[in-house]
Amino acid sequence: MAMLGLSEILQPSVRKGWGIGAYDTPNLATTYGILDAAEADKAPVIILIYPAMIPPEYYPTYAAFIKAEVKRRNVDAALVLDHGPSIKEVEAALAAGFTGVMIDSSSKPFAENVAITKQVVEMAHKQGVTVEAELGHVGVGLDVLPEDQMKALYTRVEEAKKFVDQTGVDALAVAIGTAHGLYKFEPHLDFERLAAIRDEIDVPLVLHGSSGTPEDQIAKAVKLGINKINVYTDIRMAVLKKVQPLAAQPCEKFDITDIDNLTRKVTQEVVHQKNTLFGSVNKAGLYR
């Protein structure tokens, strides 16, 4: 199976009550685990490359490997730049053959976010690549802010349609109460806001910072219109909990390959759990 574009892989789930897992990978072992789960589950997956984990100079190598594995396994997958901080990272991803890019100017004023996103959309669309952007701001779970300050960062319903119309963006990441990384307190998603945004715009909606959010809230968000769900911290924590006891043994008792194999196995287990939660298991037939 050839790699799918971001819009191409997301579109079958729009307004259908299920979503697709988007999984950040920092290395090959994690990538193998993601693809193992996709193959076993017959589920579409989005593989994310985050610049802070994998620098742009390595994009061509990772893209070539992932495309070869997707073709060999005949799975349905997209390769997407996650949180591209500038045009530079977007250009590198496009040159490497990524099938989707995210430009993240969400911390900038609305007009500046629109201008930068529009520039990326025009650049990417010329190459047949679709674009995700973020409106509102998904913060960091350990950065505890007062409730009024948190809600001030949420995506404003009245701005969502304006942003999509003015930029031509293909998918929109919304801020409705999640945060990146670990949480100090349990998040509570703003479902009323999500439903209102879904009513206003037709492009796929994206939820960042899903790790650590109660499963019932994730399931409800998917039912209300979230189509792409980003996951990394849940994979990271599950892998580290298994690797720590192994690494605590005397060096002669284990090998680097044991860590790789364990990372791959645990990643597959977590991704399978997420695919099941999101409702993407056995959806591969929609792309054939």
Catalytic residues: 82
Q: Tell me the two tokens of residue 218.
A: 């994730």
d(CA 165, CA 54): 32
Under 8 Å between Cβ of 31 and 268: no
Q: Is 180 annotated as a binding residue?
A: yes
For helices 215-223 and 256-278, what crossing angle results, to 10°? 50
134: annotated binding-site residue?
A: yes
211 is in an annotated binding site: yes
Q: By the 8 A CB rule, do 246 and 184 touch?
A: no
By CB neighbour count within 10 A (0-12 exposed, 13-18 middle, 19+ buried), where does 121 fall? buried
Does 263 carry a binding-site annotation?
Answer: no
Residue type, 136: G
Q: What six digits make up the tokens of 149?
A: 């300050």
Q: How big is the chain by its Cα radius of gyration, in Å? A: 18
Please tell me whether residue 206 adopts helix, strand or coil conformation. strand
Q: Residue 267, annotated ligand binder?
A: no
- Token pair of 27, please? 């290395």
Q: Is 282 left (phi over 0), alpha (psi -120 to 50) or beta?
A: left
247-274 residues labelled b (16+ CB within 10 A) or e (exposed): eeeeeeeeeeeebbebbbebbbbbbbbb
**Is residue 231 a known part of a binding site?**
yes
239 is in an annotated binding site: no
104 is in an annotated binding site: yes
168 is in an annotated binding site: no
How many residues in the chain?
288
Q: Is 76 annotated as a binding residue?
A: no
* 242 CB-contact burial (10 Å; exposed 0-12 / middle 13-18 / buried 19+): middle
Cα–Cα distance between 238 and 23 in angstroms, integer? 14
Show binding-site residues for Zn(2+). Answer: 83, 104, 134, 180, 208
Binding site per annotation, positions for dihydroxyacetone phosphate: 181, 209-211, 230-233
Q: Binding-site residues, please?
A: 83, 104, 134, 180-181, 208-211, 230-233
